[in-house]
Structure 1
């Protein structure tokens, strides 16, 4: 066999072996992928989208054999009431988590700390009453968060500080009566906020959030109706439509409560600071007024109801004055008409009186001639 033919034969044989090796490696990788994505019992899985669906099975706990490369995990309409701390520790690839329509009443502080790739979190229709301020840490990619239909009475300040990518936030149908503006300012990417069906108290505690809502709407954000429950004068009205003049009393309230913050690290505030004396028998030390003690403010009405009552009383007084002016004007008109009629009748009688006097003069002249 010639050397050239021998080299060609070896090249063909090597290429055939290489193709066989590649095919074997691909087959083994597919088998390994199938073995890694093993679906939990009674759940439905999709190996293409790496989705695990355990919804509507009446489960009270999350299966422990969820594949580690799962991207979508659905656990709706079950009987889940508690979440153990490490239940999601091996699911770092998870992108969507739906735990809606369960019986969760409390969420551990670090329950979502390992879900750094999560973009959607659904906790709708549970019994969650409180949230820890560190609950949503390390979730910088989260875009949608649904906390509607729960029992939340307040949102802790700082809970949204690590969510720069959040676009949709739902807080509908809870027990919220006020919100803090500082809590929502870190949500720079927020596009839609749902806060309806809550017992909002439209008082001074909601004034700053009203400013934030106006700014949020100005930059193109969408927010549903925030209907007031209290006070009664504003019941049913949208907070955004309430004029800011209704909150002018808030500054007076802040003055009465002591808006000047003093340094609490020093000694307590006293009315005076005595000067130490050298001897006990000496005169009593003079008391100088303390600079740090604010004087007590005089009482000022700060109630919206009282302000509205003042307006009503002023309106009644003005109405009475107007009625008196109308009566006086009517009396003047009647008096003027009567006087005019009297003068007309008087003018009619004057010629008659003049004729009788003329006749008397003529008779006098005739008698004098005779």
Structure 2
């Protein structure tokens, strides 16, 4: 058994030894973390926030020795044109990925399938012309997506179905002419949408998306100006300011197209059939339009707002004129009745005035004879 003094000294020195062991363990863990977060050559790394920055180095490929626990990877202003399929397969902890200002023209279908923790994806200023429907299927935590300044002409339906947390989406400066409302309806958390600088055609294909934009603005979402390029009558106008009456003809076209499809049960329609001429020296055969191929109606928008204003102004003017005519007629009737009454009274007084004048004349004649 230890004496009392020795046991007391051992108990008093135990906390100090424990602290030294803890400090030594922390130091060893930091050393292990620094050695584990090995920075690729020519790139800048920050072990504190686990960031790897390879921007502006003129690289044409992504380094293969990126640490597996990297959370932020910046690869801006390089010459990247191709992304191999498994390039991000070991970066499951990645939260922020920036590939802006490169030469990417296409993205493999499963390029982001291993990035389940990704919250921000920047693909700005590339040459991407098309996107696969399942490109973002495994990025359910994505909150910010930037696809601006690319060559996108359309968005595949269902590309945003698995992004319930997306809050910011940029589609500026692409080649988009129309968008489908169904594509954006799954984005229940969206707060900001940028769609400017696209050649929008404000026709029937954009009608349903206009409805969605109005609903999005009503619930507090922010959207920049969607300026129309075609038709010429609406060039430069914001699609949200175009009245819905401008698209009344769309329902008529839908009804006509549906009836045409139901009625057209014959052979496939052709653009036209030629009628042979009777003689060889006669004129060239004329092309007759096929009955089963109705010609597409030309888009002729009418400014309903101006038409309604014109009708209102014309109605007001006609109403004022009618009121003035009624007042004039009433005044004429009153005046005519007063004049008729005056003439009747005047006729009644004329005989009396004639008798008095005759008596004066007779008195004058008698006085002259006398």
TM-score, normalising length: structure 2? 0.71
Question: Do the aligned partners of residues 268 and 245 (structure 1) sit closer, same or farther apart at CA in structure 2, a change above 3 Å counting?
Answer: same
Distance 1:235 1:125 in 2: 26
Contact 1:262–1:292 (Cα < 8 Å) also in 2: no
Relative to structure 2, which stretch is displaced further, 76-85 or 247-256? 247-256
Separation in structure 1 between the aligned mates of residue 16 and residue 64 of structure 2, nearest angstrom: 45
Q: 1:341 to 1:237 in 2, by over 3 A?
A: farther
Which residue does the alignment assign to 1:147? 147
Is the 1:249–1:302 contact (alpha carbons within 8 Å) kept by the matching residues of 2? no
1:21-40 C-alpha deviation (Å, 9 max, x unpaired): 33332222111101111111
Residues 148 and 170 of structure 2 are in contact (CA less than 8 Å); yes or no, is this contact kept in structure 1?
Answer: yes
> Cα–Cα, structure 1 residues 276 and 16, in superposed 2: closer, same or farther, change >3 Å?
farther
Report if aligned partners of 1:253, 1:302 keep a CA contact under 8 Å in 2.
no
Secondary structure of the residue aligned to 1:133 is: coil
Residues 1:319 and 1:141: Cα distance change in structure 2 (over 3 Å): same
Decide whether the 8 Å contact of 1:249 with 1:303 is kept in 2. no
| Per-residue CA distance 1:102-139 (angstroms, 9 max, x = gap) | 00000001101111111110000000000001001121
Q: Assess if the C-alpha contact under 8 Å between 1:255 and 1:297 holds in 2.
A: no
The answer (yes or no) to whether the contact 2:73–2:94 under 8 Å persists in 1 is: yes
Q: 1:169 to 1:2 in 2, by over 3 A?
A: closer
**Once the 2 structures are TM-superposed, how far is the Cα of residue 168 of structure 1 from its aligned partner?**
0.6
CA separation in 2, counterparts of 1:133 and 1:103? 21
- Checking the alignment, whether the CA contact within 8 Å between 2:125 and 2:150 is kept in structure 1 is yes
Cα distance change of structure 1 residues 235 and 26 upon mapping to structure 2, 3 Å threshold:
same
Q: Deviations over 1:322-358 (max 9, x none)?
A: 9999999999999999999999999999999999999
Q: Which residue of 2 aligns with 1:16?
A: 16
Q: Against the structure 1 CA distance between its residues 211 and 11, is the aligned structure 2 distance closer, same or farther, given a 3 Å change threshold?
A: same
**What is the TM-score when the length of structure 1 is the normalising length?**
0.71
Distance across 1 between alignment mates of 2:276 and 2:12: 109
Aligned counterparts of 2:279 and 2:153: Cα–Cα separation in 1 = 61
Matching residue of 1:175:
175
SS at match of 2:258: coil
Tell me, yes or no, if the aligned pair for 2:243 and 2:305 is still in contact at 8 Å.
no
Deviates more, 1:319-328 or 1:39-48: 319-328
Q: Which is worse superposed, 121-130 or 27-36?
A: 27-36
Change over 3 Å in CA distance of 1:280–1:354 after alignment to 2:
closer
Q: Given that residues 153 and 176 in structure 2 are in contact (C-alpha distance below 8 angstroms), is that contact kept between their aligned partners in structure 1?
A: yes
Structure-2 change in CA distance of 1:13 and 1:337 (3 Å)? closer
Alignment RMSD: 8.4
The alpha-carbon deviation at position 11 of structure 1 amounts to 3.6
Q: Is the 8 A contact 1:256 1:299 kept in 2?
A: no
Shift of 1:182: 0.4
- The gaps in structure 2 that reach 5 residues or longer are none
**1:274-313 equivalence runs, <5 A:** none
Distance 2:60 2:333 in 1: 89
- Following superposition, the deviation at residue 255 of structure 1 comes to 1.3
SS where residue 28 of structure 1 aligns? helix
For structure 1, the 5+ residue unaligned runs are none
| 1:140-172 deviation line (CA, Å, top 9, x unaligned) | 211110000000000111110111111110000
The Cα of 1:49 is off from its aligned counterpart by: 1.1
Q: CA 1:217 to 1:296, structure 2 compared with 1: closer, same or farther past 3 Å?
A: closer
Matched residue count: 370
State the Cα deviation string for residues 50-92 of structure 1 (Å, max 9, x = none).
1111000000000001111111110000000010111111111
- Asked if the contact 2:246/2:301 (under 8 Å) is kept, the reply is no
